[in-house]
Structures are given as C-alpha cells and as structure tokens.
C-alpha cells in the first residue's frame, strides 16, 4: 500500500474533485485549496480540509507556488497532486515540492524539463527511435533563420512555441509572404503564455488525426501502454471530444504506437501517468509532444481498461510497483467524452459567466459525469471555462454515440451558455458517426455551429423550462421550512482554514 497519507490538491474544479474521490477510496486525507471566488466550490465542500490560497486571480492563488507549498506543510501533508493546468507541468514547481520534503504526484522535474521544451523533446525522441514530424530540432533565432528552415522543410509549415502547450503560440504558415506576421504574433503569444518567445518549425501535415497513447510507469522500471485516445475533434488546437479506442487504429498500429510511447517514456526516465501525443496520417504516425500530467480526457481510458488512473498516480507516487504488464491490458467497449464548457458555441465560443440557476445531470447505464457544478454557483471569467466532462461507455462505438446523444439531451445547465448544443450537433453529423474525422473536422463542418431548430430542440427547451419552474417551487417550499439543500451542503465542511 502507498506510503502517502495526506495530499494537498493544488488545483480547483472538476479535477480537484476527481482527486478528492480517488483519495477517499484509498483512505488518503484530501486537502483542498481555494481562492476567494471558489470559497463554496464543490471541491472545497467535499475535501477533508480546505485552506485559503489567495485572491480570485489565478496568479495570486492557484499559481502561487510558495503559498501552495506552505499550505501543504502547515496542513501536515506528505504529498502534493497538481492535477492538470496551472503548475502541473512546471519543472520548478515539482522541484520545489520535492525540496520541501513532499512527494510530487507526477514525474520528476528532470522529466518535465526534458519534455517541456518541445525542441529538446523532439531531439530525444528522434534519438530514441520515435518517429517525429519533419522540422527543426532547435528554436529558430530570428525571421531570416525561420525563412531558411521553412524553405528547407517545404511549405506549408507550423510555427510552434518551444515552451508551448494547450494550443498557444501556434500558427499555420502557407507561404513566405505570411511568415513575418505569423512569426511576430506566435512569438508574442508564446511570450505572454509561457514567458518564452522561442519558436521552432514543423512540416504542416495535411489534415492528420490527433491520437494519443496513455502510459503509466512506476519507479521499479515498469512502463505500460494503456491504449489510445482519438482527440481529433478540436477547435484552435483545443480538444472538444475524445474517445477510446480510435476508430482509425487497428491492432497492429496500436501495437506500434504503444511501443513508441513506451520508448518515449523510457527515454526520459518517466515515472507516473503521462500521455504521448501523435499525429497520424496515411498509416504513419509522428511524435507531437508529451503531456507530463494526468489528461483532461483520462476517463475514457479508465472506462475501456477498468483502471483508476488517478488512484494509480497516487499509488505509484507512494512507491508501489505496477502489478500488471502489457499482457494484462485489454480494451473493453467504447467510451466517448464531451467537454462541457461555459462558452457560447453559436457566437464564436464567447466565454459565458453568471449564476447557474438549475443543474440537471444525466444518469442511467454507462453514463458518468466528472464535474464540479452546483445550482446557485457563480461561474466567473477568472479560470478555464471547463465545467465538467460528460462520459459514456457502451459495447461499441455506435452504441456509445447513441448513449452520448441521450445523455446530452438529459443535461440541463441553466443560467449560462454552454457547449452542450454544439456537442449534440456533432453526435448526429454523418462524418463523425462514420468516424471519418481529422484535426480540421470542425472547420470543415460550419453547420455544427448553427443552433438546432427542429422539434427535438423545442421539446428539450420546454422540458427544461418545466423542470426549472418545478425546482423553483421546491426551493420556495424548502426555504419556508428553513432547510435548503444549499445550507446543508455548505455545513458539510469539516475543517476550514485561513
């Protein structure tokens, strides 16, 4: 059993709540942190303890490394889980956690550094025999060097931030006349996002698929591939729908990609959960990057493998060896995840904020909701718009799509705009249903960004209105009786700290 007894969760929202649940099942104490905006957030209410991390802006709370480590020590934690986003892939943070005498639930600072610098990662992967996209293996120092590299690689090319991730600092450049403006804008965005404006070039592949391999490694030399996830439904390099397994990957390709992913992890001495991302085109695959953390889309892998990846993160960080090998991993059924965000998909995905007045979550066989959303909760613009993830698991892909359609029809979030209607459009679009998708799928299907006006949509709106009115009536009755669910939930907290 793991030596970890108490974990600080240096994150918020649905991933913080997901880690709380994993800790509880393992008998590990879970300590939450919160900003002013998150004082009554679900992850705060469910943790064993909650400590104030600072004001609402992330830079003064969830990105305040010194404050987070100080809270971990004062609360008696022996480990820290960074979740994803914020400081999860910052090598300096992993190193500072370890220097404070705490266990970092993730890879070593050295491994994060090796994969965090994209050009260094490309060199390492090439040396390890992992296929990489043709391009530079060093940042280009200036525009003239970029012009020379692009001419050598061949147009079109991708300009990418050397310290990048999350779709930031990336520009597609079709020809030499576009390069100067793209070089400046990508550099400015990279500097703003990462404090590092270095850029490198890759050959732009024509509409590849984005497929990633989940790996899990322990400190005893075991590294296992847990199969692939299809992540091609994207907008501006941000994933929107993920599924496992990919409809485009057969067993021989899965085997080859899995072996390459394991080689990539071994090349940097990787320990814990990580993801190797590939671009796949014409039966060939090329290394894109490694995410040195748990992924947003990890639930689909959990569904088809039966493994709890967050629990295994904690167990591996506590020194346990993996009790299974490649021969023990099999994929069962098909899983799909839809990211529910606070954005208006029919008006350019503009961020939406406000008070959530009603929440009705889908249920039934094979439906899972990983979210942190309550009725009455205020959704602010301080943080990422992800509200939660709707996941389904079924015997095959067609059944999973049908189940996701049903689940999206049942989902009700009133008070803010969400991406749910767009996702519902995708679930009936013929190319998606057929599995013929690539990273240009959303741009190639503009009708997905048009609201539904059919009878199903009108019926759904009427049901939502009726449910909202009934919920309001029940709330009025409960208030007159002096016992609202909000009051009961707020006082479930067992230990609050400033």
Which residues are known to be catalytic? 293
Which tokens is 235 given? 């907008």
Secondary structure of residue 255 in the 3-state scheme: helix
DSSP labels, 407-455: HHHH-EEESS--SHHHHHHHTT-HHHHHT---TTHHHH-GGGGS---SH
Task: Name the nearest CA neighbour of 471 among 355, 360, 354.
Answer: 360
How far is the C-alpha of 141 from the C-alpha of 128, rounded, in Å?
26
How far apart CA 19 and CA 31 sit, in angstroms, is 10
Q: Which residues pair with residue 211 across a beta bridge?
A: 230, 278
Please check whether residue 342 is in contact with residue 352, taking contact to mean a CB–CB distance below 8 angstroms: yes
CB atoms < 10 A from the CB of 103, how many? 20
Rounded Cα distance between 214 and 217, Å, is 10
Q: What is d(CA 404, CA 24) in angstroms, rounded to the nearest whole number?
A: 28
Spatial contact of 356 and 414, defined as CB atoms under 8 Å apart: yes
Give the alpha-carbon dihedral of 483, 489, 493, 498, to 10 degrees.
-100
Buried residues in 145-156 as b, exposed as e (16+ CB within 10 A): ebeebbeebeee
Are the beta carbons of 371 and 389 closer than 8 angstroms? yes
Tell me the chain's radius of gyration from C-alpha atoms.
Answer: 23
């Amino acid at each position: 059993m793991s030596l970890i007894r108490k974990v600080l969760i240096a994150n918020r929202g649905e991933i913080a709540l997901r880690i709380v649940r994993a800790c509880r099942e393992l008998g590990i104490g879970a300590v939450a942190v919160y900003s002013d905006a998150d004082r009554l957030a679900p992850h705060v209410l469910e943790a064993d303890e909650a400590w104030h991390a600072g004001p609402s802006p992330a830079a003064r709370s969830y990105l305040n490394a010194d404050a987070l480590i100080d809270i971990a020590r004062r609360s008696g934690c022996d480990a820290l889980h960074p979740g994803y986003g914020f400081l999860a892939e910052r090598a300096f943070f992993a190193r500072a956690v370890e220097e404070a005498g705490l266990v970092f639930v993730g890879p070593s600072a050295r491994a994060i550094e090796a994969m965090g610098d994209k050009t260094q990662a490309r060199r390492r992967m090439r040396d390890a025999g992992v296929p990489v996209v043709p391009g530079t293996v060093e940042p280009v120092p200036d525009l003239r060097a970029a012009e020379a590299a692009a001419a050598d690689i061949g147009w079109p090319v991708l300009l990418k931030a050397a310290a990048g991730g999350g779709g930031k600092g990336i520009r597609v450049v079709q020809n030499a006349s576009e390069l100067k403006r793209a070089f400046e804008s990508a550099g400015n965005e990279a500097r703003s996002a990462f404090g590092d404006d270095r850029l490198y070039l890759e050959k732009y592949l024509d509409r590849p698929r984005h497929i990633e391999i989940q790996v899990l490694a322990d400190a005893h030399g075991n590294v296992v591939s847990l199969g692939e996830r299809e992540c091609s439904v994207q907008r501006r390099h941000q994933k929107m729908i993920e599924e496992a397994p990919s409809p485009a990957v057969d067993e021989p390709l899965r085997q080859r990609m899995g072996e390459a992913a394991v080689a990539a992890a071994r090349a940097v001495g990787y320990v814990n959960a990580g993801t190797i991302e590939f671009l796949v085109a014409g039966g060939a695959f090329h290394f894109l990057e490694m995410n040195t953390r748990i992924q947003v889309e990890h639930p689909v892998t959990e569904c088809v493998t039966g493994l709890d990846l967050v629990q295994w993160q904690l167990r591996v960080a506590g020194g346990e060896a993996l009790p299974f090998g490649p021969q023990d991993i099999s994929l069962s059924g098909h899983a799909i995840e839809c990211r529910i965000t606070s954005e208006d998909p029919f008006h350019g995905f503009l961020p939406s904020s406000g008070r959530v007045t009603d929440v009705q979550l889908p249920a039934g066989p094979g439906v899972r909701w990983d979210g942190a959303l309550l009725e009455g909760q205020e959704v602010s613009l301080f943080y990422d718009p992800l509200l939660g993830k709707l996941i389904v698991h079924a015997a095959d892909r067609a059944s999973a799509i049908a189940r996701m359609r049903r689940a999206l029809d049942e989902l009700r979030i009133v008070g803010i705009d969400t991406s749910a209607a767009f996702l519902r459009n995708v679930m009936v679009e013929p190319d998606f249903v057929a599995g013929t998708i690539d990273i240009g799928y959303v741009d190639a299907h503009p009708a997905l960004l048009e609201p539904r006006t059919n009878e199903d949509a009108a019926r759904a709106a009427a049901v939502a209105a009726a449910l909202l009115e009934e919920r309001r009536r029940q709330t009025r009755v409960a208030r007159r009786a002096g016992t609202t669910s909000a009051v009961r939930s707020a006082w479930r907290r067992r230990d609050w700290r400033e």
